[in-house]
Amino acid sequence: MEQITRQQVAEIVNKQREYFKKGETLDVNFRIKQLNKLKQMVVNNEARMIEALKADLGRHLVEAYFCDVGSVVLEINETLKGLRRWARPKTLFSGLHCAPSIITKVYRMPFGNTLIMSPFNFPFLLALGPLIPAIAGGNTAVIKASHKSANCTALLKELISETFAEEYITVIDGDHDVADYCLEERFDKIFYTGSPRVAVHVMEMAAKNLTPVTLELGGENGNWCIVRKDADIKDAARKIAFFKACNSGQICINLNHVAVAREVADEFIRELKKAFERTVGVDPVNSDEYPKLISPEAYDKCAAEADEFRSRIVYGGFGNKEKQKYAPTIIYPVNTDESLVNHELFCPIIPIIPFDDDKVDEIIDVMASKEHGLALYIFTRNKKWANKIFRTQQYGGGCYNEVILFLMVKGAPFNGTGRSGMGTYHGKFGFEEFSHPSTVLYGLRHFNLNMREHPYEGKTYKYKLLKFFER
């Protein structure tokens, strides 16, 4: 199939710009109707979406629904429930210094034409997830979907075109050149999910038009997980094994490496091995339940990382290139200054960093010296210590004695900080990210005071009144 051209992209954006000017998307009832159409699209095509996820990523039915399909339905339902309330203008008291014009309203207005750039690892969740607040905010949307997850992108393109008019919402397929075609156009808002390296390019392109950008990125140095000696080791190992096997580690909020108290490191590794075998079996690369890496290139990169540290592999270390599956692989011990723990792995390799529990603050200092992660996971019975870390460190979000689920909490924001992202979304936070607050003061034609008007000389009461009112 021929790739879309720069001119065709420009035509789509122009159509959406003209459509937005008609004002149809400003009506909250219209937005609710579109969200219901989107929900029905997902519900009616659940089986096809799961089939596409199986083809691209080797996902099992349960994992596909939990991570991609069900999460979208959950997000739509939350938005439908709250949208009328969120979109309602907020009335404020202007203040005595504005008297007699004491009423001000804050309206949530759409940005206009938006661009959503989604990745391969959650091809439905990370395309439709941002689309939900884009619709709720009253915008149009172009979705630039990943060419790597070809089956999911083809299905997404088909379903969106059947559900919505092209001048309102459309999906564009293609490689990096097509992404640049999109970035060359003047959008009013850009939402990008992916790597920090590409995010820099996105921001540079957006800056030419002063377009506001939301970035959802993986941590530059990876996300930390800390297991202290007082943790429930079996529980921690079980949850970490599930998480690292999920989508074969291709998750932006997945733990990149685990810092384990030296006193319990051997026990933790034993339990982690058992947990992996319970989760994906002793031969995961031939298991229908274990997902695959997205491409032969991703497989080769994972295998090369493992081979570099082969002498320290204590579990796994093998794969099936034909099936693009690499076994969960534990590497121990690893130091904090080694390359393996200083970039995002995005694969099922788990480096284990031992530390002395009474020197845990040194590990925290190392973590703090790195780029901010998108997620932080802490396993310990010492909740007071964990709370101190959560309150004092910089990261996107996290869990105490749990993994991943903070992403799915209703009413809570999600995203990173620094090199792991900017802006937030989900629920009300997503609606606010895709709309801007417009403040309007309602003036009165009568009873206006002249305290702010010239002349000032000899009118000392004006100064005194202003000092009294502006407090």
Are 171 and 96 contacting, i.e. CB atoms less than 8 angstroms apart? Answer: no
List C-alpha distances in Å: 20 to 27, 188, 214, 296, 326: 12, 11, 21, 42, 47
Q: How many CB atoms lie within 10 A of CB 63?
A: 21
User: Active site includes 344?
Assistant: no
Handedness of CA 49, 282, 236, 420 (dihedral sign): negative
**Which DSSP symbol is given to 219?**
-
Q: How many CB atoms lie within 10 A of CB 405?
A: 9
Copy the structure tokens of residue 245: 């096997």
Strands 373-379 and 140-144: unpaired
Q: Would you call 419 helix, strand, or coil by DSSP?
A: helix
Question: Residue 3 is inside which H or E element, if any?
Answer: none
Alpha helices in 246-327 (DSSP H): 265-280, 296-308
Catalytic residue among 67, 225, 246, 252: 252
The C-alpha atoms of residue 377 and residue 242 are separated, in whole angstroms, by 14
Which value, in Å, is the radius of gyration of the alpha carbons in the chain?
26
**Which DSSP symbol is given to 2?**
P
Q: Would you call 379 helix, strand, or coil by DSSP?
A: strand
Q: Annotate 348-402 with DSSP letters as a single string.
A: SEEEEEEE-GGGHHHHHHHHHHSPPEEEEEEE-S-HHHHHHHHHHS-EEEEEES-
The C-alpha atoms of residue 206 and residue 210 are separated, in whole angstroms, by 6
List C-alpha distances in Å: 230 to 14, 65, 245: 59, 34, 25
User: Active site includes 216?
Assistant: yes
Catalytic residue among 63, 75, 216, 344: 216
Catalytic residue positions, numbered: 216, 252
